[in-house]
């Protein structure tokens, strides 16, 4: 088994301790569960509507540069 070490702020430590106490687990168990959840679940949810739904706007045939010029459109700023 490997040991992973980190530093926590007082607030982070207190929140984790309270959570562990509420779940009746040790701080070590809570940290291990958190690490595993991040490692296993940090991926695209392929059934998320963002990835499965069709575009809501019809193509106009003109080229748009919204992704490049978004500050101009949002804030009236130019590059």
pLDDT above 70 coverage of the chain, percent: 92
In a domain, 1, yes or no: no
Within the chain, where are the H helices? Answer: 10-23, 27-41, 49-52, 70-75
Containing structural domain, residue 12: 8-45
pLDDT of residue 8: 94
Structure token pair of residue 43 = 């991926």
The answer to whether residue 3 scores a pLDDT higher than 80 is yes
- CA 53 centroid distance within chain: 21
Dihedral sign for Cα atoms in the order 51, 57, 66, 74: negative
The string of pLDDT tens digits covering residues 19-56 is 999 999 999 999 999 999 888 877 777 787 777 777 77
Q: Is residue 56 part of a domain?
A: no
When pLDDT is cut at 50, 70 and 90, the band that residue 78 belongs to is low
Say how many domains are in the chain: 1
| Report field, pTM of the whole predicted structure over 0.85 | no
């Amino acid at each position: 088994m490997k040991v992973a070490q980190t530093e926590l702020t007082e607030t982070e430590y207190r929140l984790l301790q309270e959570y562990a106490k509420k779940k009746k687990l040790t701080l070590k168990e809570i940290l291990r569960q958190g690490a595993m959840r991040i490692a296993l679940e940090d991926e695209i949810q392929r059934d998320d509507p963002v990835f499965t739904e069709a575009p809501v706007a019809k193509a106009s045939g003109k080229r748009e540069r919204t992704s490049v010029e978004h500050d101009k459109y949002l804030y009236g700023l130019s590059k």
